Amino acid sequence: MAENYDVVAVGSGFVTTFFLHRYLEKAPRNARVLILERGARVPHADRVLNRGTLGEEEDNSYLNESAGEKPWIFSFGLGGTSQSWEASTPRMLPSDFRLQTIYGVGADWPISYNDLEESYCDAEDIMGVAGPSEDSPFPRSRPYPQRPHTFSLPDQTLKEALPNHFFAAPSARPTESLSDRAKCCNSSVCTLCPVDAKFTILNGMQSVLKDPRVRVRTGAEVTRIQVQNGVATGATYRTSSGETTANGDTVVLGANAIFNPFLLLKSGLDYGPVGEGLIEQYSSTFLLQLEDMDNFQGSTATTGHGYSLHDGPRRSEFAAGLIETSNRPEVQPVRGRWLQFLRMKVIFEDLRDVKNSVSVSSSDPDKPQVVFEGRSNYTQRAIDATPLRISNVIGALPVERMRRVHYAHQTESNNLGTTVMGTDPASSVVDEGSVHHQIRNLVVLGGSTFPTAAPANPTLTISALALFAAEKMFG
């Protein structure tokens, strides 16, 4: 017997839950919502006890034909990737939304920073973000809900030298205890916080999961979006008990940039460049040996964000880079100088390319096939030029020696770009409100809609976009 709902939502991570948060604020008391989550409901304590086995199911869920065995990181289970993220929450800058107009590369977004700014504030409030309200690189209409984390001494030195380009890094790791979360313990084990301090769906969005209008079904793998006469009618899913179809007036697809396009293609929804343009950011890490300056006085894992390599005329030639300073506890084997070093990472944007894609595997149609041939020349030039460019940024620090310890990390644990948003249905899959161009009651959420991969960690932006989409659809 078919089930009938007002909203059927695929996935239970950031985007689905934030979308439903806004929807439920506006929905009638008799609304019916179904959340279909492929993974299990695993409490935080159980994740800590079984951390050695986490990720095994995800690794076997897709066929990876990426060059160099590049991994793609995501999490099944109630709460999705909120269970494993590090909780860094920078916004994108206004220029990131207008890359083609300003710099002649990549693409413009169909929305602007100003369009999204209120939703950014709302997402930060929900997450309890700690950040620099009075001294932020982002234009803001409201303060952060929590004060920023404490700088280290190298951070403070960089701030004094570069007041307009170096800032306290915002994060959903609290500086003060909240009603449902402890403050950050500064252990730097952020992917699986030992005290459950970072924001997750399970510790911060129970209002959605426990709403009497919402039914959550775990162990439910969606296999197809049902469509009739240009209208999405529901989702078919399988459990250990068999296959079922849930009917819905609105269908929300909130998997990720691998499974969103896979489900669209499996459902015969191959309109536009669906599955094309898979991207994520890249990063290089440098180790700076400091002379007579200790590090690690900060209060969380990542304390500083630098924008000296972000904007400017050279962005037309080199990908923008976001500098992160690390406060993760570690020592160097140099007697008497155990703490006199700084680990610094530069995260680079990348551009979509059709040769990097997600499709339905011909050998196993129940799995997506991922093909990733490599990063763009635009990003490669930035990576190659970084040692010289960063040396001009760190001049205020007493650097005795600098060496690059990671040329280019395999992954930044993001996947983006495969159901891109835009105004033209021929070159995009969804509109500015994340609604499918052809199927107007089908909402496709998350990083898969990104036209570009700005250096900023994308989680805050995908959460803001989900709030924006729900407001636009139901407001």
Task: Report pLDDT for 247.
Answer: 98
Residues of the chain above pLDDT 90, percent: 89
As a whole number of angstroms, the distance between CA 218 and CA 359 comes to 25
CB neighbourhood size of 237 (10 A): 22
CA distance linking residue 223 with residue 329, whole number of Å: 44
pLDDT of residue 64 exceeding 90, the answer is yes
Report pLDDT digits (tens) over 274-324: 999 999 999 999 999 999 999 999 999 999 999 999 999 999 999 999 999
Question: Residue 331: which pLDDT band, with cuts at 50, 70 and 90?
Answer: confident
pLDDT at 322 (0 to 100):
98
End-to-end distance of the chain based on CA atoms, in angstroms?
32
Between the alpha carbon of residue 317 and those of residues 284, 310, 395, 452, 453, the distances in Å are 18, 12, 24, 16, 16
Query: CA separation (Å) from 30 to 213, 214, 263, 441?
Result: 7, 10, 29, 20
pLDDT at residue number 45: 81
Q: What is the pLDDT of residues 417-454, one digit of tens each?
A: 999 999 999 999 999 999 999 999 999 999 999 999 99
Q: Which of 25-29, 143-147, 334-338 has the lowest mean pLDDT?
A: 334-338
pLDDT exceeds cutoff 80 at 51: no
pLDDT at 375: 95
Secondary structure of 314-374 as H, E, C letters: HHHCCCCEEEEEECCCCCCCCCCCCCCEEEEEEEECECCCCCCEEEECCCCCCCEEEECCC
Residues 6+ away with beta carbon under 8 Å from 197: 173, 174, 181, 182, 183, 184, 185
Q: Where does the pLDDT of residue 48 fall: very low under 50, low under 70, confident under 90, or very high at 90 and above?
A: confident
Strand-strand pairing, 231-239 and 302-306: unpaired
> What pLDDT score was predicted for residue 465?
99
pLDDT at 207: 97
376-399 residue pLDDT tens: 999 999 999 999 999 999 999 999
In angstroms, rounded to a whole number, what is the distance separating the alpha carbons of residues 420 and 422? 7
Q: Token pair of 239, please?
A: 């459990």
Specify the range with the lowest mean pLDDT, choosing from 34-48, 149-163, 210-224: 34-48
What band does 52 get if pLDDT is binned at 50, 70 and 90? low
Cβ–Cβ under 8 Å, residues 306 and 162 = yes
66 confidence band (pLDDT: 50, 70, 90): confident
Query: How does the average pLDDT of the chain come out, rounded?
Result: 95
8 A C-beta contact, residue 87 and residue 199: yes
The CATH class of the 3-474 domain is alpha beta
pLDDT in tens, 118-132: 999 999 999 999 999
Overall pTM surpassing 0.95 (yes/no): yes
Q: Is the pLDDT of residue 348 over 90?
A: yes
Q: What whole-number percentage of the chain has pLDDT above 70?
A: 98
Q: Which amino acid appears at position 117 of this protein?
A: E
pLDDT for res 330: 78
Predicted local distance difference test score (pLDDT) of residue 54:
59
Dig out the tokens for 69 from the structure.
Answer: 């065995």
Q: How confident is the model at residue 44 (pLDDT cuts 50, 70, 90)?
A: confident
DSSP code of residue 435: B
410: its two tokens: 């395999």
pLDDT band for position 335 (cuts 50, 70, 90)? confident
| Eight-state DSSP code of residue 426 | T
